[in-house]
Amino acid sequence: MDRLDRKLLNLLQRNAARTNADLADEVGLSPSSCLRRIRKLRRSGIIDRTVAILNAAKTERRLKALVTVELELHGEHHMRRFLDLAVAEEAVSQAYAVTGEVDVFLTLRLRDMEEFDALCDRLFRDQTNVARFNTMMVIRTGKDDTAIRL
C-alpha cells in the first residue's frame, strides 16, 4: 500500500469507468503494472465493488429522509430484530445502530409521502418495539460522497 495505490484508489472512487491505460498514464505507470495493482486491490478486498451511481433527481425515489429511532427495549436481541426489519425495506438505504440519545439511524429513499406513511406503519407502529422516532426531510444536499479519502 504505497502512494501509487492510494492515488489509484482515490481516482477509482471518483470514476471507475476510466480505461486502464488512462489511469496508468495519470499515476505514471505502464498499463500492465497499473492493472496488476488494481487487481491486487480488488483481491485484497480494499476495493469492495464497483457500482453505478444514479442521479436521484431523475429517479422516482426523489425524496430523501433521515430518521432517528429510539427503541422501547434495548437488548441486543431487540436491536437486531428491529435492524433486520429495517434492512428488509426497499426504501431503507442505510441502517445503523448508533450511540447517543437514539438507538437506530435510517436513511430513506422515498417516492412520496404516501410511501413514507406506509413505511411508518410497518416499522414504527404496532409491535416493532419503537418508543419514538424523529424524521428529517432533506431540503438541500451540500455533499453526497461515496468516496473515502485516503
Place of cell 441502517: 95
Cα–Cα distance, 5 to 22 (Å, whole number): 15
Pick the piece of the chain touching DNA (CB under 7 A) from 14-22, 49-57, 110-118, 133-141.
14-22
Q: In this chain, which of 2, 3, 45, 77 binds a copy of itself, going by CB under 8 A?
A: 45
> Per rule CB under 8 A, is residue 126 in the interface with a copy of itself?
no
DSSP 1: -
Pick the piece of the chain touching a copy of itself (CB under 8 A) from 21-29, 100-108, 117-125.
100-108
Residue 58 interacts, among DNA, a copy of itself, none and using kind-specific CB cut-offs from 5 to 8 Å, with a copy of itself
Provide the sign of the torsion angle of the four alpha carbons 108, 50, 48, 6, taken in this order: negative
Residue 118 interacts, among DNA, a copy of itself, none and using kind-specific CB cut-offs from 5 to 8 Å, with none
Cα–Cα distance, 96 to 104 (Å, whole number): 6
Which residues are CB-neighbours of 70 under 8 A, at least 6 positions away? 101, 102, 103, 130, 131, 132, 133
> Per rule CB under 8 A, is residue 136 in the interface with a copy of itself?
yes
Cβ proximity of 107 and 91 under 8 Å? no
> Per rule CB under 8 A, is residue 77 in the interface with a copy of itself?
no
Where does this chain bind a copy of itself (CB under 8 A)? 9, 12-17, 44-56, 58-61, 64, 66, 68, 83-84, 86-87, 90-102, 105, 109, 134-150
Where does this chain bind DNA (CB under 7 A)? 4, 19-21, 28-37, 39
